[in-house]
Structure 1
């Protein structure tokens, strides 16, 4: 029987032998280290040791979580500008509203529902963002009902009420965007690994999916040990609940020669 910590990076799943994992922590605020390789995100104090932290995203050639968020937030703003335009178009043309009145159904709503920050300042901004975002989507219900009887009054409602709620929502979304680094820390997890010569280090990952216990013959072994970049090897694949999980044989802080 083998046990693995299964974790995800975007839609990719990886596994690492639980014997190599000392602890699973929330991602930690890091002190940047000058002249370190790009895959080293920084270091932090863990118990009596100072640990280096590796970005698993960087190891597999992806942008950092904070960089991904800086791409995501402008997209969310564009989507809600389109939402407001679609509401006006629906009232003007008397056609069905093409967007949603459910604040939990849009991409921003799903992101808000999935994010539970530990950072107090981020938490307060998220509460305000969630409140105004829900008001925004619900306001469309009143506008559409009003538009069925009086288009002019519906326009006034959009200009005086919906527009104001929209601006509040975008303002708080901008505040979250400014906190991309803090949000990335809150969203990620850090695996503390034993490391070479029993020197521990951390790897930042997107999320821990599960801890699985399987028979060794369930692993699909690669014919040879495969190298992923200069810092890790993989040797097998696991089919777990319909997902392909790449089993990482080892991860190194230092580049191999």
Structure 2
């Protein structure tokens, strides 16, 4: 039986032997290292010593986590603009409103429910966004209920309340966009990794699971992926999801 830490980087899943993992900690602000290798984000304090932090996204040639977040926020804003336009059309023409009224069921709501913040500044922004988002959906429901009795009053609620709350909600999302570094630190994790006595941190998007598997479950690809700092040696089919199993990770000098 082998115990593996399974982590996520963008849409890619990887696993590494838990024997090489000392701890998993929340991502934090790092101290830059002048003239360091491009894969190194900086250094951090760990157990009375200083260790380097390897960015796994850079290691596998992916866009930065911050750029992915920026695209996500653009998509979430677009989705709620469509939500508001659909509500307007329903109140003006009587066409059935088919968007989510439950604030937890839309794209933004699902993201908010999955997001845990640790930085006080991010928590403050998150709370403001969560409250305005809930209020937006609530006021949308009020407008639709009012429409059944008084179309003109429903449109007044839309123009006065819904649009104002929508503006506040989008403003909070814009604030998130301006604080991408803080937001990414609230989401990403550091895996404290040991490679034959060399200890360093690996920055990943999320930790998904600890898997307990038999060695017979590993699929030999006969084409192991290897470069100077990352070696893969097999693939694991875990509940229908293919996961790249890491043999070793090295830290650039």
Structures share fold, TM-score greater than 0.5: yes
In the TM superposition, structure 1's runs of 4+ consecutive aligned residues that sit over 3 Å from their partners are none
Q: Could you tell me how far apart the structure 2 residues matched to 1:232 and 1:220 are?
A: 18
Structure 1 residues 64-83: Cα deviation after superposition (integer angstroms, max 9, x where no partner): 21221112112211211111
Is 1:206 the counterpart of 2:205? The answer is yes
Deviation, 1:86, is: 0.8
Q: Could you tell me how far apart the structure 2 residues matched to 1:10 and 1:223 are?
A: 25
SS of equivalent to 1:194:
strand
Question: Equivalent residues in 2 for 1:102-251 (5 A)?
Answer: 102-196=102-196, 198-227=197-226, 229-251=227-249
Q: Could you tell which deviates more after superposition, 62-71 or 180-189? A: 62-71
Question: Equivalent residues in 2 for 1:11-160 (5 A)?
Answer: 11-160=11-160
Q: Judge conservation of contact 2:39–2:252 (CA < 8 Å) in 1.
A: no
SS of equivalent to 2:221:
strand
Q: Could you tell me how far apart the structure 1 residues matched to 2:144 and 2:90 are?
A: 8
Q: Could you tell me how far apart the structure 1 residues matched to 2:223 and 2:100 are?
A: 50
Q: Could you tell me how far apart the structure 2 residues matched to 1:232 and 1:119 are?
A: 31
Deviation, 1:38, is: 2.1
The runs of 5 or more residues in structure 2 that have no matched partner are: none
Structure 1 residues 200-220: Cα deviation after superposition (integer angstroms, max 9, x where no partner): 111011111122222211111
How many aligned positions are there?
253
Deviation, 1:11, is: 2.9
The runs of 5 or more residues in structure 1 that have no matched partner are: none
Q: Could you tell me how far apart the structure 2 residues matched to 1:76 and 1:91 are?
A: 23
